[in-house]
Structure 1
Amino acid sequence: MSLVKQFQLDFGDLITQQYAKCIEFSGDLDVSFDEYSQKLLDSLTAIHGELVVKNESSQMITYINGIHNNDLYLAIGLCKGNETAWSEFDNRFNSKIKQYALLYTKNESQSDDIKLGLKGSLFLESPKTGKSKIASFNGRGSLSSWLKVVIFRDVLSSQKESKVSSLDSIVFGIEDESLADDDMKNLEEIVAAGFKQLNQEEKSLLRDYFILKKRENELANRLEVHVSTISRRLKKICDELLNHFNRIADEKYGLDKDQFKELLNQFDQSWQSSITKILG
């Protein structure tokens, strides 16, 4: 028995309920129950791992409800070229696409170009993969937030090719001469908010190691622990801090990890100085 058939056998009622809700929300997009089941399974596997099908029904309910199912169903219809799906997509996202493109370019003409180019890049099959970009959507986040990231990347690519603007003007929509103040203000907000998630002991350890340049063995002796313990603590704190930065950048500015990393690289010395101020 195939994995998708086993998935349908074990969780058929849950899948059927969601499938019916999707049709009620978007209409009939010529997406069969089997096609929806396969895409849903692919998404759950990508998010929770291959053993996701081994979960109990109660856990599977949580997992399935965590998927943006209406958006996932629409994406399947778009991949099939269904006209109703195209109409639904335009109704729901046409204005948002223009809004996001304008947000990142601050230029009416450029935003129109990005909007037109986006439809081609979303729905036309890639010669390399044989799949359209929309086929990669897995419903983990909303289609709206996914489109925002795609548009950001399209704008970034366009700017790199034309070499007319820096990454910073794309993200924050400002002219180069005003980057230092405005961009750093936004970055400082992310950094400050991230550090607020740490307790005083964690911030103190970072200050001693990174600002005061104390050696790990010094810190270990003071805290009466092994040097390896200090190393693990520092790594754990830094990992947690980076996770906070990435989460805040995503929630506040819609930037994924790679985009935020590129942004940090543009202001390497400046944002590190900001951290120095925070840790004192």
Structure 2
Amino acid sequence: MTGWWRDFGAARFGRPASPRPIVRPALLARLDQAFAEPGQEDAVQPVVTVVAGSGAGKSILLAQWAEARRAVMVQLDNGRVPAAGDGAVVVLDGIENLPLDGAGWRRVVELVGVVPLVLSGREPIPVAAVDRLGAGHLVFAEDETYQVLAAALADAAGADGLAPDLHLLTGGWPALVGLAAAWLARLPMPERGTSLRQLARVDEPLQEHLVGVLLQTLHHDEREFVRRLAHLPAIDAATADALDLTEDLGGLPPIVLPVIGSGGRYAVPEPLRRTIQQRLPLAEHERRALLEAFQGM
């Protein structure tokens, strides 16, 4: 869910436009192939599983594919599995939120083989599948790392010189590439190469380090915005205004991202919340007041 973005939204607050996710044609084609044959009424419907850790880009990839395919995509953050019909492929993202002994997982088992399904999560999914995509399929190729960096820097030549080192240092892991690209984009051009190479000497988890250095590049209002948003559920622009969070919700990827399928709500991605809360702590009375204001709306 984080970081590989290209030309999204209007420039606001003196910042360049935020980038959109890059398109990954080979993976989209692979998903297409799994559902290429139209299902017969009495045929067993195909199931594809997508399993990888946080930050692999599962949700973004599947949202792109679901939109193009007109599939039904559901984020299972509340543990509820929806009814499905009309023969459409159903994408269930966040399977790890369904305990294996719970009603939600039993509903998934009932759907397997009956409805064409894509099941996505962070842990192995114990169902028979016609195809299984894992972390090794989702990591970026070097060219994709270059695309992310070129979009973030708005500088193809500069990205060409930095992309090989960035790819090597991050292993092509999408979340790390996105965080590093956003950080480099905020540095003065002459400092980018040296700063990037210094990542090789980082002795803490690279994601935590990149969140920290990216937060340091934010101006004061941006930091205060992220500091508070890291304690809130997903919010829309009207809620942000009511809470006096005056920054542009869409202007700070990959540390503030749209929640897929939520109709214009944004949030700090779950894997980054803890790090941001630690790096930009909020006093307990401030946190309580913020949550009370949110809950009272």
TM-score by length of 2: 0.32
More relative contact order, 1 or 2 (CA 8 Å, 6+ apart): 2
Task: Name the structure where helix makes up a greater proportion of residues.
Answer: 1
Task: Give the greater-gyration-radius structure (CA).
Answer: 1
Task: Name the structure where strand makes up a greater proportion of residues.
Answer: 2
